[in-house]
Amino acid sequence: AYLPEDDIIYHPTSLLPLSLTSRYNNQEWQIKYNKYHIINQYQLAQQFTITQGNFRIKIIIHSWTI
């Protein structure tokens, strides 16, 4: 769930999140959503990157189960 103080940037056409910036334990975290795909009627993230300081985690999802 998003927090009221989170900064979310949405794609102008699809209105899907492009990025999310949030603070946790006084540290800034950023999620960049790189790709989405449609599963049933849902558009779900397929590829995204989480960064905090010098740390970077890239996640690629090959299969969703709904």
Note the pLDDT of residue 33.
96
- pLDDT tens-place values along the chain, 66 residues long: 678 889 999 999 999 999 999 998 899 999 999 999 998 899 999 999 999 999 999 999 999 888
φ and ψ at residue 54, rounded to 5 degrees: -90, 0
Distance of alpha carbon 62 from the chain centroid: 16
| Cross-sheet strand order for the sheet of 7-10 | 7-10, 17-24, 27-39, 42-52, 55-60
